[in-house]
């Protein structure tokens, strides 16, 4: 996942600390989302699912919290 997190972090810093507004054309954005989803889905195996089993409840709670926090913004 570092290949995904590093660019996201760089864009976050660019948006927060510079006046530059970064925009993607919708075709590039959608293509990138398809590619990222395919790559993440390929790595999602039964073994990975079993490794996440102990974190499942925390993942559900965090996602619900993010949903409600997003509604406040």
Is the confidence at residue 1, as pLDDT, over 80? no
Closest CA to 11 of 30, 24, 26, 27: 24
Residue range 9-49, pLDDT digits in tens? 998 899 899 998 888 889 998 998 899 889 888 888 889 88
Cα three-residue angle 37-54-6, rounded to 5 degrees: 40
Q: In whole angstroms, what is the distance from residue 26 CA to residue 38 CA? A: 18
CA 64 to chain centroid, in Å, comes to 16
**Structure tokens that stand for 72 in this block:** 């406040």
Q: In whole angstroms, what is the distance from residue 40 CA to residue 9 CA? A: 18
Question: Residue written as tokens 């926090």?
Answer: 69
């Amino acid at each position: 996942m570092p290949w995904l997190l590093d660019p996201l972090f760089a864009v976050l810093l660019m948006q927060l600390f510079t006046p530059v507004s970064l925009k993607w054309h919708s075709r590039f954005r959608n293509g990138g989302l398809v590619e990222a989803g395919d790559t993440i889905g390929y790595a999602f195996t039964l073994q990975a699912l079993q490794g996440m089993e102990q974190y499942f409840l925390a993942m559900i709670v965090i996602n619900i919290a993010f949903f409600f926090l997003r509604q406040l913004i």
